[in-house]
């Protein structure tokens, strides 16, 4: 919040009570990136891979609810 106030010049009351949360988070992310701060740490591979999800789409999946 303080970074947004410093960057935009908006008063604290506006940031707390009038600015939609989704927009505030987007502005915070942009302000932090402009300061060189990573908001999400980079990783070598995604947390959920296709191998983890392959069980949901296996060929032997039975769609008959009575089975």
Q: Tokens 């989704």 — which residue?
A: 22
Total number of domains in the chain? 1
In a domain, 34, yes or no: yes
In a domain, 12, yes or no: yes
Per-residue pLDDT at 33 exceeds 70: yes
Give the span between the Cα atoms of 42 and 65, in whole angstroms. Answer: 42
pLDDT of residue 4: 82
6 lies in which domain range?
Answer: 1-38
In a domain, 46, yes or no: no
Question: Residue 61 corresponds to which tokens in the numbers above?
Answer: 């999946």
Under 8 Å between Cβ of 22 and 37: no
pLDDT score, position 42: 63
pTM check: above 0.95 = no
Residues contacting residue 19 through CB under 8 Å, at least 6 positions apart: 10, 27
Band of the pLDDT at 37, cuts 50, 70, 90? confident
């Amino acid at each position: 919040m303080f970074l947004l106030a410093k960057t935009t010049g908006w008063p604290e009351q506006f940031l707390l009570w009038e600015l939609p949360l989704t927009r505030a988070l987007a502005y915070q992310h942009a302000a932090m990136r402009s300061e060189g701060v990573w908001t999400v740490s980079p990783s070598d591979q995604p947390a959920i891979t296709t191998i983890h999800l392959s069980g949901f789409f296996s060929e032997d999946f039975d769609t008959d609810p009575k089975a």
